[in-house]
Amino acid sequence: MAEAEHTAGRALANGKTRIDFQTAPARYRHWQLKVDGDVATLTMDVDEKGALFEGYELKLNSYDLGVDIELADALERLRFEHPQVRAVVLRSGKPRVFSAGANIRMLAGASHAHKVNLCKFTNETRNGIEDFSENSGVATICAINGTAAGGGYELALAADYIMLVDDGAAAVALPELPLLAVLPGTGGLTRVSDKRKVRRDHADVFCTTEEGVKGKRAVEWRLVDEVVPGSKFDETIVLRAREFAAKSTREAAAQGITLAPLARNFTADAVEYDFLAVEFDRAGRLATVALRGPPSQPPVSADAMLALGSEFWPLKLARELDDAILHIRLNELDVAAIIFKSSGDPAQVLAYDRFLDTNKAHWLAREIRLLWKRALKRIDLTSRSLVTLIEPGSCFAGTLAELLFASDRSYMLAATLASPASGGGVGRGGDNKPPANIALSDANFGAYPMPNGLTRLACRFLADPSDVNAAKAERGKMLDAETAEKLGLVTFALDDIDWDDEVRVFLEERASFSPDSLTGMEANLRFAGPETMESKIFARLTAWQNWIFQRPNAIGEEGALKRYGTGQKPVFDTRRV
Which stretch, 84-92, 172-180, 228-236, 352-360, contacts a copy of itself (CB under 8 A)? 172-180
Regarding 551 and contact with a copy of itself (CB under 8 A), the answer is: yes
Residue 339: closest CA among 282, 392, 290, 276 = 290
Evaluate whether 149 touches 100 at the Cβ level (below 8 Å): yes
| Minimum distance from residue 15 beta carbon to a copy of itself (Å) | 23
Judged by CB under 8 A, does residue 463 bind a copy of itself? yes
175 vs 104: CA distance, rounded Å: 12
| 562 binds a copy of itself per the rule CB under 8 A | no
Letters for 364-383 (x = contact with a copy of itself by CB under 8 A, - = none) are -------------------x
Give least dist CB 399 to a copy of itself, A. Answer: 20
Query: Does residue 113 interact with a copy of itself by CB under 8 A?
Result: yes
Following CA atoms 454, 457, 461, 464 in sequence, which dihedral angle do they give, to the nearest 10 degrees? -90
455 binds a copy of itself (CB under 8 A): no
CB of 412 to a copy of itself, least distance (A): 12
Asked if 20 is part of the footprint of a copy of itself (rule: CB under 8 A), the reply reads no
Under 8 Å between Cβ of 496 and 428: yes
Q: Which is nearer to a copy of itself, 53 or 527 (CB)?
A: 527
Whether 480 and 421 have beta carbons less than 8 Å apart is answered as no
H or E stretch at 65: helix 65-80
- Report the site for a copy of itself in 469-508 (rule: CB under 8 A): 488, 491
Report the C-alpha gap between 166 and 172 in whole angstroms.
Answer: 11
* Residue 572 binding a copy of itself, by CB under 8 A: yes
From candidates 422, 466, 566, 574, binder to a copy of itself by CB under 8 A: 574
Q: In angstroms, what is the minimal distance from the CB of 221 to a copy of itself?
A: 10
Binding span for a copy of itself by CB under 8 A among 159-167, 245-253, 268-276, 532-540: 532-540
575 binds a copy of itself (CB under 8 A): yes
In whole angstroms, how close is the CB of 176 to a copy of itself at the nearest point? 7
Q: Does 284 bind a copy of itself (CB under 8 A)?
A: no
Q: 373 CB contacts (<8 Å, ≥6 apart)?
A: 131, 447, 448, 449
Q: Which of 445, 544, 558, 562 binds a copy of itself (CB under 8 A)?
A: 544
- In angstroms, the CA 14 to CA 19 distance is 12
Q: Judged by CB, which is closer to a copy of itself: 305, or 561? A: 561
Cβ at position 548, least distance to a copy of itself in Å = 5
Options 296, 514, 557, 567; binder of a copy of itself; rule CB under 8 A: 514
Q: How far is the CB of 319 from a copy of itself (least distance, A)?
A: 24
Q: With contact defined as beta carbons under 8 Å apart, do 156 and 141 qualify?
A: no
Q: Does 408 bind a copy of itself (CB under 8 A)?
A: yes
Q: In what order do the strands lie in the sheet with 39-44?
A: 31-36, 39-44, 87-92, 139-144, 161-166, 226-229
* Nearest residue (CB) to a copy of itself, 319 versus 456: 456
Is residue 333 involved in binding a copy of itself (CB under 8 A)?
Answer: yes
Virtual CA dihedral for 401, 121, 203, 137, nearest 10 degrees? 60
Q: Measured from the CB atom, is 349 or 490 closer to a copy of itself? A: 490
- Binding a copy of itself by CB under 8 A: which of 135, 523, 558, 564? 523
CA distances from 281 to 508, 511, 523, 536 (A): 12, 12, 24, 34
CA dihedral 528, 380, 485, 498 (to 10 degrees): 120
Q: Which residues pair with 92 in a beta bridge?
A: 44
Q: How far apart are CA 385 and CA 509, in angstroms?
A: 11
Identify the residue among 87, 223, 257, 335 touching a copy of itself (CB under 8 A): 335
Give the closest residue to 181 by CA, choosing from 558, 553, 474: 553
CB of 117 to a copy of itself, least distance (A): 8
CB-nearer residue toward a copy of itself: 355 or 527: 527
Single-letter code of the amino acid located at 85: V
Q: Does 520 bind a copy of itself (CB under 8 A)?
A: yes
> How many CA atoms lie within 13 Å of 285's alpha carbon, on the beta-carbon side?
18
Q: Which of residues 176-215 bind a copy of itself (CB under 8 A)?
A: 176-178, 181-183, 189-190, 192-194, 196-205, 207-208
Alpha carbon distance 477, 440 (integer Å): 7
